[in-house]
Amino acid sequence: MTQATRMNTTFRICSCNRSMPLDAAAGERLGKALGTAPLPVATELCGRQVDAMLETLDGKGPVVVGCTQEQALFEELARQKKTEFPLRFVNLRETGGWSAQAAGALPKMAALLADAALPAPEPVPAVNYLSQGRVLIVGSGDRVLPWAERLCDQLSVSVLLTDSRAADIMPHRRRYPVCSGANVKVDGWLGDFTVRWEQANPIDLDRCVRCNACIAACPEKAISPVFQVDLQRCRRHGECVEACGPVGAIDFGRLAQPHEERCDLVFDLSMKPLIALDEPPQGYVAAGRDMMEEYDAALRLTQMVGEFEKPTYFRFREKLCAHRRNRKTGCTACIDVCSTAAIRSDGDRVKVNPHLCMGCGGCTTVCPSGALTYAYPDAAYLGRRLKTMLATYAMAGGAQPVLLLHSHKRGVELVNMLGRRARSGGKCHGMPARVIPLALHHAASVGADVWLAAIAYGASGIAVLATGEEAPSYVEALKKQMRIAQAVLTGLGYAGSHLQLIEADEPEELDAALQHVPRGAGPATAAAFNTFTEKRTTLSFALAHLCEHAPQKPEQIPLPSGAPFGAVRVNASACTLCMACAGACPSSALMDTPDRPQLRFVENNCVQCGLCVQTCPEQALELIPRLLLTEAARRPVVLNESRPFACIRCGKAFATEKVIESMLTRLAAHDAFSASMERLKMCGDCRVIDMMQAGGSTLCGPGSA
């Protein structure tokens, strides 16, 4: 069989025992779309025709295989052949070949093959974890102690009992430390957890020799078999203390004492999880009340021993952050959306903990300034993928493509299940021919900048699949981003709907939603620009192309609240031109004028963070979300100005008339200034001179003049 190469890449496709409409004619069409010779089409590449695959692995470039089911087999063959070049896989079967519209899916297959042929993204810095297997198991004795016994041979176990509900008896052998406490707090991540609690049990379980003397001596029977004292029943007669004798394990004076322990892993068997996050940190598992969940959690814990690493999913450019200035809070979008509590306020900026970040990317999607950007992969690489896929799809004769963005975990599972059910003769139609699935690390990691770029590249619509694995904050963020992007497209006159959020956790639900994917109009000419890591730059290029080819040419488009574009309206009668807003603006949208009392504004720079509104002492500012499409957006405009006020003594301008009028009005009734109001009309130097000539007093009260 001949090899077809594109950019030194060899493609191998298979009809999977003729279950897909792939033949020699289809191979010729695919090759033409990919700019290669016709692609050979196998029928049993993993079976009788495996020799063809072995021959391919002797080649001198990367290999793209149109099958993911037999990935393990092909990778093993590559290891045996000691292949030097990368082997990549793409699922053509469930994503297009097993569908009611499979006959029209060749353009999509060409797009998926072209995408798989792209080189991998550049590596990013890694975040490292080191776990020695020290696990703290937290909860009631009846749940904690059995698991401690099961795990103590594989992990270094410690136990923290949180209530008096007992197991049958304490373990017969002291194989691990046991503590007890209440008000438990857990902080940290895999390999570096800190657990804090307050002593809630008078019995020190580490000192206790488990002789049961206290249990026998207690008249209220308030001590459980795991030596937890029920303080509601206990009358503190002291018999238990006396029975304990020289062991000294019982002391009612140690109640509420703080304790702290460091560990690598936390197995939380509490009734309510100690970490109430949608995405808890790695190394922390909470099992609820389901036995299968407990076994699954325990299995995962045993696999979290050793050295681990993950990518740093984000880049942060502190200078662009619009979080705070001068103790005034503006933008909190990233903090509000983060499901892992990895982002917190840190003075005038935010701080992102890379150990807690799970790569959801919602923070980068909602960040208005682009201070936070997604790094694994970055927007530039993702844009290159989208551009390649859409251009290849069009080259293959496809029309009105829709990109289906989904997660690489549950999203991929759902897409595969949909294809299998369509093939098995069920009620599912399978993936429509014009829907191109694209797996992301997380569905919320892409927002309006990339979506609008994709529309400019020729996409008819964008569908984002939320499977229920996403935190609610991310789903709301996606909806908000879609409202903003759709408002822009509708305002430019592009007909139809372009964006769709699909919420489905079953293949039947996904199938039903895919029958109504967007079919919006787009620009007549596909854009040639590349996306950029900088969000605002990508948006600028995408909007420029969409505006150039837009059916309508409005001067401005109203946008929903929270949009990253807009104007600032000034109440000129209230504004004193103190310039506090200009000093607080993180994006240089608001500026003062050095030689005159004038407030200027560049709308293209405004990210609508609201810092100016929060900073203004006169509450004279208001945000106006909109997209201004004229050149005026890039030019400074004067929002407010006033005549300068000259010192009544030396004639030097030192303030605005508005400021002086405001000061005179506010201080006129004040006893300290009533006799020296004229000094308020002087510059600082003249005011000092006037006070010294009046007798050296630094007071401005009666008699000082």
pLDDT of residue 5: 44
What pLDDT digit, counting tens, does each position of 567-619 carry?
999 999 899 888 999 999 999 999 998 878 899 999 999 999 999 999 999 99
Helices vs strands, H then E, count in the chain? 20, 33
Q: Which of 186-195, 317-326, 505-514, 659-668 comes out lowest in average pLDDT?
A: 659-668
Q: What is the pLDDT of residue 138?
A: 96
Is pLDDT at 703 greater than 80 in this prediction? Answer: no
Q: Which of 119-128, 196-205, 535-544 has the lowest mean pLDDT?
A: 196-205
Higher pLDDT, 382 or 254: 382
The span from the CA of 159 to the CA of 140, in Å, is 10
In this predicted structure, what is the pLDDT of residue 698? 41
- Residue length of the chain: 705
Contacts of 95 (CB under 8 A, 6+ apart): 108, 112, 415, 419, 431, 437
The pLDDT tens digits for 416-463 are 999 999 999 878 999 999 999 999 999 999 999 999 999 999 999 999
pLDDT attached to residue 425: 81
Distance, C-alpha 348 to centroid of its chain: 21
Mean model confidence pLDDT for the chain: 91
How far are the Cα atoms of 478, 500, 548, 560, 666 from residue 485, in angstroms, in the given order?
A: 10, 11, 17, 10, 47
Q: What mean pLDDT is predicted for residues 624-629?
A: 97
Do 566-641 and 130-306 fall under one CATH topology? Answer: no
How do the domains of the chain map onto residue ranges?
5-89, 130-306, 312-374, 379-550, 566-641, 651-693
pLDDT surpassing 80 at residue 474: yes
- Summarize pLDDT for 45-100 with one digit per residue, the tens: 999 999 999 999 987 889 999 999 999 999 999 999 998 889 999 999 999 999 99
The values of phi and psi at residue 122, to 5°, are -65, 140
Asked if omega into 119 is within 30° of 0 (cis), the reply is no
Whole-prediction pTM value?
0.88
Ranking 135-144, 620-629, 668-677 by mean pLDDT, the lowest is: 668-677
Looking at domain 566-641, its CATH architecture is 2-Layer Sandwich (3.30)
Position 394 pLDDT exceeds 60: yes
Are the C-beta atoms of 368 and 331 separated by less than 8 Å? yes
Q: How many CA atoms lie within 13 A of 676 on its CB side?
A: 20
Q: Which residues of 555-586 are buried (b: 16+ CB within 10 A; e: fewer)?
A: ebbebeebbbbbbbebeeeebbbbbbbbebbb
How much is the average pLDDT of 309-318? 95
Q: What percent of the chain has pLDDT over 70?
A: 95
pLDDT confidence of residue 291: 87
Segment holding 538, helix H or strand E = helix 535-548
User: Do the bridges between strand 314-316 and strand 306-311 make them parallel or antiparallel, or are there none, so unpaired?
Assistant: unpaired
pLDDT at 168: 63
Q: What is the mean pLDDT of residues 633-640?
A: 95
Q: How confident is the model at residue 675 (pLDDT cuts 50, 70, 90)?
A: low
pLDDT of 509 strictly over 80: yes
Q: Is the pLDDT of residue 27 over 80?
A: yes
CA distance 89 to 66: 6
Phi and psi for 336 in degrees, rounded to 5? Answer: -65, -35
Q: What pLDDT is recorded for position 225?
A: 85
pLDDT confidence band for 673 (50 / 70 / 90): low
Token pair in block for residue 656: 């605005």
Please, which pLDDT band fits residue 705 given cuts at 50, 70 and 90?
A: very low
278: DSSP letter: S
Two structure tokens written together for 106:
């060749």
Architecture, CATH, for domain 130-306: 3-Layer(bba) Sandwich (3.50)
Q: Tell me, which fold does domain 312-374 have in CATH? A: Alpha-Beta Plaits (3.30.70)
Highest mean pLDDT pick, 324-338, 451-465, 658-672: 451-465
**Is pLDDT of 232 > 90?**
no
pLDDT above 80: residue 243: yes
The token duo for 612 is: 């100016």
Tell me the average pLDDT across 255-267. 92
487 pLDDT higher than 60: yes
